[in-house]
Amino acid sequence: KIVKPIEPVVAKKPVKIEVPTTKKVLPQLLTNQLHQQKLTLAAAFTRLFSEFGLKVNDEQIVNPCEMAKQNGYLCLVETGNWRQILQFDRPAILELEDNAGQKYHVVLKKVADDKIYLDLGKEPEFVTTLSQLVPLWNGNYVQLWKPFGPGKYILRQGDQGKNVFKLRELLAAFDDKSLETVTPLIFDEVLTRIVTQFQIKSGLDADGVVGPKTWILLNNSVDTGRPWLIMKGD
């Protein structure tokens, strides 16, 4: 019997599938303005500080958040969404990005209905819309907020001090049980529950820990001297 030789198996070349790369369609007017008026991060902080009444020069800014701290403010550096920006209701530095990956910094100054006012550098009040801004914004932003005094400001159950009492006072507008205690300087289990409920109602991470975002929303109800982002009607 003649055995037929086995033919060698020739490996087929893998088929290369071309995946089309889709680029975001960016608003031309705003993109062109960013290219022309590129604002440095230091200059963006100078303009943000100005919104809060702090006068500094670009050359003075080496560590902007440290400078903010020296003037009684702290930086909230976050990646979030437009709902957060409106909820915290204060001017912000936004990081924008084009299709080439080039990053730009602009100052979000005001929001009035469908109009958004940006400081781009040479043009301090460039008016655009959310539909123009969103394709360029990568979600990164910086906002300033003011603690109520010295001492520890990230608070959790077991902490003690004057800032715990201040927290109770601010939460009283939300739940008056926050002041019903014989130990007002102690962050106890009842206060943890009240904080958690406030965070749930506000759409924050409900962990019972009082950090910058919780303080900002509590601060908004009493700090009438700060700049507002959303322009109020008459």
Q: What is the DSSP string of 154-177?
A: SB-TT-BSHHHHHHHHHHTTT-GG
Chain-centre distance of CA 192, in angstroms?
25
13: in domain: no
The confidence band for 19, taking pLDDT boundaries of 50, 70 and 90, is very low
In this prediction, what percent of the chain has a pLDDT beyond 90?
A: 62
- How many CB atoms within 10 Å of residue 192? 18
Here the CATH number for the domain that contains residue 89 is 3.90.70.10
- Please give the average per-residue pLDDT across 54-83, as a whole number: 91
4 residue type, one letter:
K
* Same-domain status, 127 and 60: yes
pLDDT of 4: 52
* Same-domain status, 176 and 77: no
Residue 1 in 3-state DSSP? coil
Domain end residue (candidates: 118, 145, 172): 145
140: in domain: yes
Average pLDDT across the chain, whole number = 87
Q: Give 62-68 contacts, CB < 8 A, sequence gap 24+.
A: 68/144
Residue 225 above 80 pLDDT?
A: no
* Same-domain status, 48 and 85: yes
Number of domains in the chain: 2
41: in domain: yes
Domain end residue (candidates: 115, 145, 175): 145
**Which of 220, 214, 181 lies closest to 195, judged by CA?**
214
CA separation for the pair 182, 136 (Å, rounded): 52
* Same-domain status, 137 and 176: no
pLDDT in tens, 158-173: 999 999 999 999 999 8
Domain end residue (candidates: 85, 116, 145): 145
Residue 44 above 90 pLDDT?
A: yes
pLDDT of 12: 57
pTM, full prediction:
0.84
Domain that holds residue 211: 150-234
Cβ atoms of 55 and 71 within 8 Å: the answer is no
* Same-domain status, 166 and 139: no
pLDDT in tens, 199-209: 999 999 999 99
Structure tokens given for 107: 């100052």
Q: Give the orientation angle of helix 162-171 with respect to helix 189-202, to 10 degrees.
A: 50
* Same-domain status, 104 and 196: no
* Same-domain status, 139 and 170: no
